[in-house]
Amino acid sequence: MQIGIRLHDTKKLPLEERLKNVKEQGFTCGHLALSKVIDEYPVGVSAMTPGFALYLKNLFAKNHLDVAVLGCYLNLANPKEDKLREITEKYKAHIRFASLLGCGVVGTETGNPNETYTYEEERSHTEEALGIFIKNLAPIVEYAEKMGVILAIEPVFTHIVCDPKRARKVLDTIQSPNLQIILDPVNLLHISNYHNQKEIVREAIDLLGKDVAVIHIKDYVVEQGKLISVAAGTGNMDYSDLMQFIKKEKPYIHATLENTVPENAVWAKEHIQKLWEEA
């Protein structure tokens, strides 16, 4: 696998220096969320020109790094029509940008049925919420097809697409080769189900494995009745099934670390690499 890192978890530096530092640490790819990494110049929709995309493409290539994911984590279930139109245009801008940037996928999560992107136990996991998400996602996937870009959704327990079954339903309903999956096993866990982590990871691999485009790797601890995300190798996650899946079925897949800090990122990378080698 190609181990990368979420760039906004790395040492805060101008982008040119940040990428150089990431490469020196031994990473091969990065998860790029423009607004979380670049503050020395604007990165909004109007700034997402072909020139900017090609500048970034050359900058990553100079450092021998791939853009594994171009992040666009906005709420496609927002009930406000004007806000949803704005969100849709931002997705399309990211897809156009990605087509020139040459990144692996445009990545997104799946939102909640409200304006605040807040998990609602009574509403977020309903069939109604899932239907709204699929309806709003479909035209964006169609646009991704036109632009030759892969859009990848990331199931998260506290979002609408909360488990592998619902993710499979989204894929089967839209039926597009340009719609794939970012698999983050920890995001499928919750204080209510983490004791069943092995069964949940195996179900995700069984139902979604062929459509997994990118892996996100982190860990978790339980504190005060909540699951807290932490760097890989510093918590309670069992990676054995995930590593075997990657080794057997996903050669050279982009696998990006999350929830690291500059002080433990290299250690986390080496820990995961060792687990892969031993799988």
Angstrom CA distances, 70 to 30, 95, 153, stand at 9, 9, 12
Contact 153, 170 (CB under 8 A): yes
Residue 263 identity: E
Q: Give the integer Cα–Cα distance in Å for 153 and 48.
A: 22
Amino acid 224: pLDDT: 94
pLDDT attached to residue 166: 98
Q: What local confidence, expressed as pLDDT, does residue 219 receive?
A: 98
List the chain pLDDT tens, one digit each, 279 residues. 999 999 999 999 999 999 999 999 999 999 999 999 999 899 999 999 999 999 999 999 999 999 999 999 999 999 999 999 999 999 999 999 999 999 999 999 999 999 999 999 999 999 999 999 999 999 999 999 999 999 999 999 999 999 999 999 999 999 999 999 999 999 999 999 999 999 999 999 999 999 999 999 999 999 999 999 999 999 999 999 999 999 999 999 999 999 999 999 999 999 999 999 999
Q: What's the pLDDT at 234?
A: 97
pLDDT, residue 267, reads 98
User: What pLDDT sits at residue 146?
Assistant: 98
Q: Which pairs from 195-201 meet CB under 8 Å and 24+ separation? A: 197/237, 197/238, 198/238, 198/241, 200/163, 200/164, 201/238, 201/241, 201/242
HSE at residue 200, side-chain half, CA atoms within 13 A, is 23
Contacts of 204 (CB under 8 A, 6+ apart): 155, 164, 183, 185, 188
Q: Cα(143)–Cα(134) distance, rounded to whole angstroms?
A: 14
Whats the size of the chain, residue-wise?
279
Q: Which two tokens stand for residue 129?
A: 């919420």
The confidence score (pLDDT) of residue 246 equals 98
3-class DSSP string for the chain: CEEEEEHHHCCCCCHHHHHHHHHHCCCCEEEECHHHHCCCCCCCHHHCCHHHHHHHHHHHHHCCCEEEEEECCCCCCCCCHHHHHHHHHHHHHHHHHHHHHCCCEEEECCCCCCCCCCCCCCCCCCHHHHHHHHHHHHHHHHHHHHHCCCEEECCCCCCCCCCHHHHHHHHHHHCCCCEEEEECHHHHCCCCCHHHHHHHHHHHHHHHHHHEEEEEECEEEEECCEEEEECCCCCCCCCHHHHHHHHHHCCCCEEEECCCCCCCHHHHHHHHHHHHHHC
Q: What is the CATH number of domain 2-278?
A: 3.20.20.150
- Backbone torsions φ then ψ of 95, nearest 5 degrees: -65, -45
* pLDDT recorded at residue 168: 98
In this prediction the pTM is: 0.96
